[in-house]
Structure formats: C-alpha cells, structure tokens
Amino acid sequence: MALQIMKLLNGQELAGFIKERHGRQVRALRASKIYPQLAIVQTKDDPVIDTYVGLKQKYGGDIGVEVVLHKVGQPEVPKLLDTLSADSSVHGVIVQLPLEDPERTHEVVNLVDPSKDVDALGEKSRFEPATPMAIMWLLSGYNVDLAGRKILLIGRGKLVGAPLEKLLKDSGHNVTVIDREIPDLKSYTQEADIIITATGSPALLYPDMIKNGAVVIDAGVASEEGKTVGDLAPEVYERSDLTITPRKGGVGPLTVCALFENVIRAASNVKS
C-alpha cells in the first residue's frame, strides 16, 4: 500500500508569482504617471487587524503601491470617506473590519465610492471580493476540480462566506452552506469532498470530522492567546490523506494579492 502524504495548498508560493506580475504592472502604471494609492480606514485596535493591515502595507511597498493608513474614531469615518472618494490620487479605499460598532457595518461600507471599493463590501462595488477570489485562485492553482464534488462552506460572513457562496453557486457548483452553530456539524463535514471554513472559531474541525482524501481550505482568522489561528484543530495536520491549507501561508497571502489586483485595476481605469 502506497504511503499517503499530505498535500499542502501553499498560498505563499502562488502569491510569489502573482506579486512579480503586480510589480511589473505597477511599474508600467508609474511610467504612465499613474501612482497607485490604497487608503485603509481603521477604527478598532486589535492584534489580528493590525497584523493584516501590516501585511497590506508591506505588500504595497514591495510592488510600488502607496498604502496610507487612517486610524480614526468611527464617528469620523463618513466625512473621511467623502474626502477619500473625492481625492483623485486615491485609487482604492477599504474600511478595515470589524468596526468599533459592527451594527453599522452595512451603512459604512456602502459609503465607499464603488469605483474605489476594492474590498467589494459595498452593494455597488465594481470589483470581486478579495478573499473569495483568493480561495478560487488557490483551488485553481493546485488543480482542485470542483465539478461534481460536494462542497461544504461553513460560515455566512460578509467578508468571505456570503460572497463565496454566490460565486460558487453562480458557477454551478454543488455547495451546501451552514453556520458553525448548526447541530451535529460532524454529519455535514464527514460527507463533504471539499470543506471551506470561514468562521474565526479556533478548533472548529477535528480529524474525525473529515472524510478520507478531502480538500480542506481554512479561511478563518481568530486571535487566541495573542496568536493568529484558524478554524482547524492542530490535530487535523496529523492526517496524511488530506489536501489542506497550511497553518500559515494558505488563503491569507493570496487575499492580500487579490486586494491589490483590484487596486491595480482601479488605477488602470484612470485616464492619464
């Protein structure tokens, strides 16, 4: 019997190729006197948020996109978004979630100019959402065939679950969407060929909950004892039969790439 070896879906590896392409695209824009700029509006101090903002700042710096962070109180956000919308030097604007007052999320994200809404959180955004785009890139990059397979999506959040559900269903795939609180979660996960988790609930999935040979994409992010963790229990990585995102470097690096894909598109739409 052949020894089974876990196959890692290494987003960091794919991100390297995309980053090279982005660098070339930005250099071409700058040669045309277009200087791409991304504005990040952050209202809440949180270690997970700070980590992701830092990754965006580094990526932007590496490819030549200026990333400007605006840390403000939530009452100041509407006026700031008006200012950024009117500023022709700003090509992309994101509101870093969660807000201080999450109940106003829908209202706030829809204040972003649709032509600059590179996170695609507003109803009229002209772009594809970054994390769902990253997940699809990851699956495609490693030739994971979705046709005819049972896909389970855990989580209906605004950032990942809801837009990914639409993307998958629009593409005609067999996808079931559930919340993390559903009774007998195990009965759903054991039937799925492909599991995508996006709940931000540490140790949501354990080894005995996943069928043999399944594909597992962990897109969840949470903070636990000062560390950034995903939805999978550490023991899941003891399974040798899975095709799975690594503990670090799975969806995250490609999400940053997908965001800047949109920023570059927004800048490319500017007439010099």
Widest CA span in the chain:
65
Q: What residue type is 161 in one-letter code? A: G
Provide the pLDDT for residue 220.
83
Phi, psi at residue 7, to the nearest 5°?
-105, 120
Name the stretches of the chain with pLDDT < 70.
Answer: 1-5, 221-229, 271-272
- Judge whether 104 and 43 are in contact, CB under 8 Å: no
The domain segmentation of the chain, as residue ranges, is 33-113, 130-252
The string of DSSP letters for 149-194 reads: --EEEE---TTTHHHHHHHHHHTT--EEEE-TT-TTHHHHHTT-SE
The pLDDT tens digits of the residues spanning 100-137 come to: 899 999 999 999 999 999 999 999 999 999 999 999 99
- Judge whether 119 and 111 are in contact, CB under 8 Å: no
Same fold across 33-113 and 130-252: yes
Q: What are the residue numbers of the active site?
A: 56, 96, 119
Say which residue the tokens 């919308």 belong to. Answer: 85
Provide the pLDDT for residue 160.
87
Phi, psi at residue 255, to the nearest 5°?
-65, -40
CATH, range 130-252: 3.40.50.720
Provide the pLDDT for residue 1.
42
Provide the pLDDT for residue 226.
52
- Judge whether 209 and 189 are in contact, CB under 8 Å: yes
Query: Could you tell me the pTM of the whole model?
Result: 0.85
Assign a CATH topology to domain 33-113. Answer: Rossmann fold (3.40.50)
Half-sphere exposure of 51 (CA within 13 A, CB side): 13
